[in-house]
Structure 1
């Protein structure tokens, strides 16, 4: 997917992108390729793949959630090279974005990226999701929490749901999502105060594979003991 195809694909979905935004994505790609030679940010670095599998893929969350309702807060857990939150911030500039990542080098890249793209209202924290979720300043304070990850849903739920405010939405972007995995995660999601609203399944353009966007509503407050200590959710999922 070249930049023009990217622009057209978004237009076809009802998202019109300005020249300034196109330039921001161009600068994003350049910086990603430069930094990736020094630190491992992503295995996908070829221009057309980045536009399709990183930029377009990240923005698909905006097809199922309304990010245009005034100023709303979004926390991206383990954002890595900034996906999905930075592409969403470019397209929906009024979003107030917080990114938490456990690797300081990635935070350095993201800080440089935000400065280069002149993004305002973006905050970066070098922390483990488990610790961040127990921080009173951030706990249950976000309208949206996103994760674009391969971790099992029961693990993602424990890392993300404690950060979602009551009435907010946890948005999980996944390449695959088996029925068995969903059944196994039901207990964890309910325990953490969430309720599955919908699992949207679609194909990326150019036969680039199946994607799932899972929306989980925060119905009740998360019990104080969650998330557990760093590493525990992964070792023994709920």
Structure 2
């Protein structure tokens, strides 16, 4: 893709509506387009993603990011996630290992009332995201440089989040260890996976029992244009870490 060439993302409104019961408004569509342009430009020096073809970018970065939190999108808010919360409640999410800003940036665009923290341990990527946020006019997201295990020991972040998002971070058991200490009691971790095996689930179950969490659900689906296999694993934080007596 030529650096000066502007390629338009497909709007895909019918697919958005059919698959997620939601579609971006005009302002959000413009933000998605600008995000695409910034990622393609940033890719020239930072190697943010191999996915730059517009339809593939839409599916694997925008749609995939929002599929994991589809229950929170307007039109789907009849779930317990929302019905138990007062209208004025500000929910906090942390995107662990955000990289180029996925899934956190599309989620911040789609859910402007959600507070999103973009966490990564690579300074260059955080510096890049610090330029992206004002360029997109996003005011409900902040960046955070560090490792999740170190951040989770800081009082302002420990057990402070309603949602933790992990995409392409590592083994599911590792994701659980990163996410659960950052979640409030009752908080939800969303693990974005491709394939999902019985062995992975067994390993995950063993890990989360020690961390005070449970596998609430596993959703299996295919992506809408390439029909790729995807899974979202939802982990519920059930007890504060270290609350259990040491034997």
TM-score by length of 2: 0.86
| Alignment map for 1:219-230 (pairs within 5 Å) | 219-223=238-242
CA contact (8 A) 2:108 2:140 kept: no
CA contact (8 A) 1:11 1:17 kept: no
Map of 1:92 onto structure 2: 111
Q: Larger C-alpha radius of gyration, 1 or 2? A: 2
Gaps of 5+ in 2: 1-7, 83-88
Partners of 1:96 and 1:185 lie apart in 2 by 28
Does the alignment pair 1:60 with 2:79?
no
In the TM superposition, residue 46 of structure 1 has moved relative to its aligned partner by 1.6
Q: Secondary structure at the match of 1:21?
A: helix
Q: CA RMSD in A?
A: 1.7
Work out the number of aligned pairs and report it.
Answer: 223
Partners of 2:26 and 2:71 lie apart in 1 by 24
Map of 2:48 onto structure 1: 41
Does the alignment pair 1:159 with 2:184?
no
Map of 1:9 onto structure 2: 15
Partners of 1:212 and 1:36 lie apart in 2 by 27
Does the alignment pair 1:199 with 2:218?
yes
Q: Secondary structure at the match of 2:225?
A: helix
CA contact (8 A) 1:101 1:127 kept: yes
CA contact (8 A) 1:129 1:159 kept: yes
Map of 2:31 onto structure 1: 24
CA contact (8 A) 2:214 2:237 kept: yes
Q: Secondary structure at the match of 1:74?
A: strand
Map of 2:234 onto structure 1: 215
In the TM superposition, residue 175 of structure 1 has moved relative to its aligned partner by 1.1
Gaps of 5+ in 1: 225-238
Q: Secondary structure at the match of 1:119?
A: coil
Map of 1:234 onto structure 2: none
TM-score by length of 1: 0.89
CA contact (8 A) 1:150 1:175 kept: no
